[in-house]
Homo-oligomer: A and B are copies of this chain.
Amino acid sequence: MTTTGNHLIAGQWQRASTPHFSSVNPRTRGQGEVIFADANTEEINTAVEKAALAFAETRLYSAERLAEFLDAAAREIEALGDELLTTCDAETALGLPRLTGERGRTTNQLWAFASHLREGSYVEAIIDTALPDRQPAPRPDIRRMLIPIGPVAVFAPNNFPLAFGVAGGDASSAFAAGCPVIAKGHPSHPATSELVARAIQKAVDTCGFPAGFFSLLQGKSIHVGQSLVKHPQLAAVGFTGSFRGGRAIVETAAARPRPIPVYAEMGSINPVIILPDAAASRHQALVKGVVDSVTLGSGQFCTNPGLFLMIESPETAQFIHNVADAMQAQAPHILLNEDVERQLQKGMEKIAQKDTVTVLTRAQSGHEDSFCFASSVIQTTAENFLADPDLREEHFGPVTLFVLCANLDEMQHLIQQLDGTLTATIHASDSELDTVGHLLLLLREKAGRLLLNGFPTGVEVVHAMVHGGPYPVTSIPNSTSVGVTAIQRFLRPVAFQNMPDALLAAALKNANPLGIWRVVNNKHTADSVK
C-alpha cells in the first residue's frame, strides 16, 4: 500500500496545502519519505459538515448495524498485516512485539464495543408507565434512553499510535455510540494514521455507511486542531495527550458560542506506595517490577509510575539503590520523537540543579543517532516535595522520583496534597492490610483506579476499567476513556412522554424486542412491559 500524505475527507483522499512535515525515525533521526500537510480550513469544514450529514443517518442505526461496522473495522485493521506494524515501528520505535500487542488491544477494543452494543443495555432505558387514575392528575407514560450526541473530534496522542490512534479508544467509543469521527492524527506517526484510516474507510464502504462517518485530518500546526474544535457542527471532543495541549483545547471549546464537552485525558504522575514489609519480603521481585514498569515503552505510558512513596529507613535506601542500579544497567531508551527527548532533557536539567534533590543515576551514552534518554532515578524528601511544585511535574519518559517520608503520617499528609491522577498503587504484605485500608480512603479521592500489589502500566480493556480521574488528569472527572463505559461520553439522555409504542425506539417498546435490561417502574428487568 502506498502512503500518499493526503487527508481522508469523507471518503476522498486529498490535500490542498503545501506539504511540510514528515515522520522521523526515532532510531536514526531519518526523515520519512512521505511529506504531509496541515489540513486547511476548507478541508476541516468539509470533514465536519460531511460528518454532520452522516450523523443524520448513523444516529438512527441499530446497535447491531453499528456493531457490524466495529467488527469490519477490526478485520480491516488486521488485514493491513505487517505493513501497519513496520510502518508504525519506523515512526515510533516502539518495537514489533509491543506494536503487535497494541494492535491486538485495538481490535479487542472494537470487538468489546461490538459485544457491548449487541448486549444492548448501554442505552440505559428507563420506563415509567402511565398512572391514569393518579390524583390530583394522571401521570403520563415517560420513557428515557441514551442517544448519540453528534460528530466527535478525536485527538490522538503520540504514545499509543494504534490503541489510542485514529481508530483507538476515543474513536471506537464514538463509533459505537453512532457518532461520526473526525480524527486529528498525531504528527509523529502520520503514515500509521493514514494506514489505519484506509482500514476504517474500507469498513465504512463495506458496511454502506455514509462516507462522512470518518475523516482523517493530518497536521502539525496547532491551528488544525483549534479550527476543528471551533466548528459549529461539532458536538464533542475526545483528546488524549499532554496537559498543555488538552487545556488549550478545553479552553477553545469553552469559548465557543455553543460550548461543547471536551473529554481530555492528560498527563498523570501515578503514585506508587511501597510499604516496608512488602519491600522487605518481596525485595527482588519488587525492584524488578518497579524497573520494568517505569521503563515499559521507554516510560511513555499515561500510567507510567512517576512517583514512589516509601518510609525512610536503611532498607528503603537499599531498595532505591537497587532500583537505581538496575536502571543504570540499561541502555538508554529510544523515545517517540525529538519533542519528547527535548522535554525530558529540559525537565531533568531543571531537577538536577536543585539541591533538594539527588539524582541517583549517572548520564549514559549510547544510541547517538537516536532520540533517546537514559533511565533516571531521582530522590527527595516529603518535605522538599511538598515545598516545590516543580517536583510534581510529569517526566514523560523512563524517569521516576522516590520520595522519602519520615513516617506514615507524613506520607498520608503528602497524599492529601497530591493532584488528580489516573492511578494510585500500593504494595503491601498481608500484615499491612490495615494500613492499606487507611491509605485507600485517601487515594480514592485522587485517582480513577486503585491497585494493590500490581503496577499501573498495562490497562485492561474490561467493562470495569476506569481510565480517568480528577483534574488535571482529565477535564471531566466522571468519565473514562478505556473500557466500555467510555461510550457514555458520547451519548445523552432523552425522555419520550406519552408516545404510542409504534413511535418509540426498539429499546423503549413495550415488547422489549432487543431483550435488554431496563428499569421499569423502578425495577431492573429484561421482561416486556405488561
Instruction: Flag whether A480 is at the interface (Cβ < 8 A).
Output: yes
- B115 in contact with A433 (CB, 8 Å): no
A341 and B502 CA atoms in complex are apart in Å by 44
Contacts of A137 in B (CB 8 A): 458
- A524 in contact with B517 (CB, 8 Å): yes
- B503 in contact with A436 (CB, 8 Å): yes
Taking a contact as CB atoms closer than 8 A, the residue among B127, B454, B517 that contacts A498 in the complex is B454
Interface members, chain A 429-459 (any B CB < 8 Å)? 433, 436-437, 440-441, 444-445, 447-454, 458
Instruction: Flag whether A296 is at the interface (Cβ < 8 A).
Output: no
Contacts of A494 in B (CB 8 A): 444, 447-450, 466
Closest to A116 in B: B522
Instruction: Flag whether A472 is at the interface (Cβ < 8 A).
Output: yes
- Interface-side segment among A139-147, A153-161, A189-197, A317-325: A139-147
A41 → B minimal CB distance (Å): 23
- B503 in contact with A460 (CB, 8 Å): no
Contacts of A451 in B (CB 8 A): 140, 497-498
Closest to A251 in B: B254
Instruction: Flag whether A16 is at the interface (Cβ < 8 A).
Output: no
Q: In the complex where A128-B464, A472-B258, A493-B466 touch, is A524 in contact with B524 (Cβ < 8 A)? A: yes
- A142 in contact with B492 (CB, 8 Å): no
Residue-wise, chain A 512-530 has the 8 Å CB interface mask toward B (1 for contact) of 0000010100101010000
- B142 in contact with A464 (CB, 8 Å): yes
Closest to A504 in B: B440
A498 → B minimal CB distance (Å): 5
Taking a contact as CB atoms closer than 8 A, the residue among B250, B251, B450, B522 that contacts A497 in the complex is B450
- B493 in contact with A460 (CB, 8 Å): no
A451 and B519 CA atoms in complex are apart in Å by 20
Instruction: Flag whether A326 is at the interface (Cβ < 8 A).
Output: no
Instruction: Flag whether A511 is at the interface (Cβ < 8 A).
Output: no
Copies of this chain, how many? 2
Taking a contact as CB atoms closer than 8 A, the residue among B440, B464, B475 that contacts A144 in the complex is B464
Contacts of A259 in B (CB 8 A): 250, 471, 475
Closest to A523 in B: B119
A517 and B517 CA atoms in complex are apart in Å by 11
Size of interface on A: residues with Cβ below 8 Å to B: 79
A146 and B126 CA atoms in complex are apart in Å by 19
Q: In the complex where A451-B498, A460-B140, A497-B451 touch, is A440 in contact with B503 (Cβ < 8 A)? A: yes
Instruction: Flag whether A462 is at the interface (Cβ < 8 A).
Output: yes
- A115 in contact with B522 (CB, 8 Å): yes
Instruction: Flag whether A217 is at the interface (Cβ < 8 A).
Output: no
A524 and B525 CA atoms in complex are apart in Å by 10
Instruction: Flag whether A401 is at the interface (Cβ < 8 A).
Output: no
A110 → B minimal CB distance (Å): 16
Instruction: Flag whether A477 is at the interface (Cβ < 8 A).
Output: yes
- B440 in contact with A497 (CB, 8 Å): no
Instruction: Flag whether A261 is at the interface (Cβ < 8 A).
Output: yes
Contacts of A478 in B (CB 8 A): 146, 149, 261, 488-489, 491-493
Excluding A144-B464, A451-B498, 11 further A-B contacts by CB distance (< 8 Å) are A59-B445, A126-B464, A127-B464, A128-B460, A139-B460, A142-B460, A149-B477, A250-B259, A452-B497, A470-B492, A478-B489
Q: List 20 A-B contacts (CB under 8 A).
A: A59-B445, A60-B441, A128-B460, A137-B458, A140-B451, A140-B454, A146-B478, A250-B254, A250-B259, A261-B476, A261-B477, A444-B494, A452-B497, A453-B498, A463-B522, A468-B492, A477-B492, A478-B492, A478-B493, A524-B526
